[in-house]
Every structure is written in C-alpha cells, then in structure tokens.
Chains A and B, each alone.
Chain A
C-alpha cells in the first residue's frame, strides 16, 4: 500500500517562528511536491523536486524554502511564519514522468497550520 506521511496533522505557531513541515514517502518516487490548500482557491504549488538535492519554485514560493537531502523526504520550511501562511499544507509524490504512464500524484493527509 503506497504511503505518503506528514509529520503533523495540526500545528499552531506564532508569528516570526521558524516552522518545519516534514513529508516522507515509501514508494521510491523521484518527484515530490508541496501545495497549500485554501477555500475557493484549490491547490497551489509552492515548491517541487525531481531528485535529491534538486528543487524548483512553484507558483507561490515566496516566504517558503524546501530541502531534499534524501529521496524519500521533502521538507517545507517557513523561515519566519506569518498569519497569511495559515493554511492546509499537502505533500505529494509521483514517479518520474518517463516511468509513469499517467503521472498519478499520491497525497499525504495534510498538515493544518495555524499562525497566531
């Protein structure tokens, strides 16, 4: 059974704190993604990674950074959390496009982050 896990389901932080969100997949997938989900806006891509130590900016990277030191782990970092980063954060993984016929992304359960 394929699995993407996220370190916390709920997190409450204060403005200005450094926040780490961890994501681990056990499917040996090359690609990993971080999205945020807000009502009425759907999912918006923050960062993605096609390989270890590689990262690419998504559509809304401002205020975020990422780290991928190992293939199975992709971390999202909020250097100085702000209230407008209160959101649901979803991690996903997928096979390399040349291995996968239809590029399914597998999602974790999400982390609901509240910044006070």
Chain B
C-alpha cells in the first residue's frame, strides 16, 4: 500500500541507545530519510541513506537499511534529553511527482 509505517512512541533513559524502526513501500526509492521535529518547530533533515547502502553512520546516529524487507532503522547512541522529539521516516516516490511520503512519526521521550 501507500503507507510508510512507524511505531508512535518510544521512551528511553538518558544514556541508553534508542532504535526507531520504519517500514516503507516503494522498493525503487533511491533515498530514504529521517527527519526530526522538535517541539514547536518544523521538520529538519537529520540524515538520509542512498538505496545502494546498507548502513550509514554519522556521529551518534546509525541508519540501517534492509532493502529485502523494506525496513529502515535509526539508532541514536547515548541518547540525550535534547534528542526528545518526533522522528519521521520518509521515502521518495520514483514516479513523475518525485514527492516524499512520510510515516506517522515516532515520538521519542528521553527520561533523565
């Protein structure tokens, strides 16, 4: 179907790792994205991965891509209270529209 799916909520303790999961639908998507939305703000691109990669690491962030299962994950190491936000997974439609399809967002709460 059309939906990009994510769980709605994740709670972790400060210092632990967070893992946010996503399943997408378009196997021909060239890029997959993670956007972050802090309270009262718009979305900001956190990281992205090209479809020919399995993994991408950027400081505390690790993105894993399983193309066979159409599964994307975002791992945040040493999670801080400033990481509390909503995280959106998105895929790009490879038709003429080239538009982004967003998941419902996962609200990450980091407990002190």
Q: Do A and B come from one complex?
A: yes
Take A42-B103, A42-B105, A43-B102 as given contacts and tell me if A108 and B42 are in contact as well, using a CB distance cutoff of 8 Å. Answer: yes
With A40-B104, A41-B104, A102-B31 known as contacts, the answer to whether A107 contacts B99 (CB < 8 A) is no
Bitwise, A73-109 to B at CB < 8 A (1) or not (0) is: 0000000000000000010100001000011110111
A56 CB contact (under 8 Å) in B8, B50, B97: B97
Contacts of B88 in A (CB 8 A): 42-43
| Number of A residues, CB within 8 Å of B | 23
24 contacts between A and B (CB under 8 A): A35-B102, A40-B8, A41-B104, A42-B4, A42-B104, A43-B43, A43-B88, A43-B102, A48-B97, A48-B99, A90-B43, A92-B43, A97-B98, A102-B50, A103-B31, A103-B100, A104-B48, A105-B45, A107-B42, A107-B43, A107-B44, A108-B42, A109-B40, A110-B42
A42-60 vs B: 1/0 string, CB under 8 Å? 1111001000000010100
The 4 closest A-B pairs by CB, nearest first: A107-B42, A42-B104, A43-B102, A107-B43
A75 to chain B minimum Cβ distance, whole angstroms, is 17
A41 and B6 alpha carbons, distance in the complex (Å): 10
Does residue A27 face the partner (Cβ distance < 8 Å to B)? no
Task: Give the CA-CA distance A33 to B50 in the complex, in Å.
Answer: 23
B78 CB → nearest A CB, Å: 26
Other 7 A-B pairs with CB < 8 A, given A4-B42, A45-B99, A107-B43: A40-B8, A42-B88, A42-B104, A48-B99, A103-B92, A107-B42, A108-B42
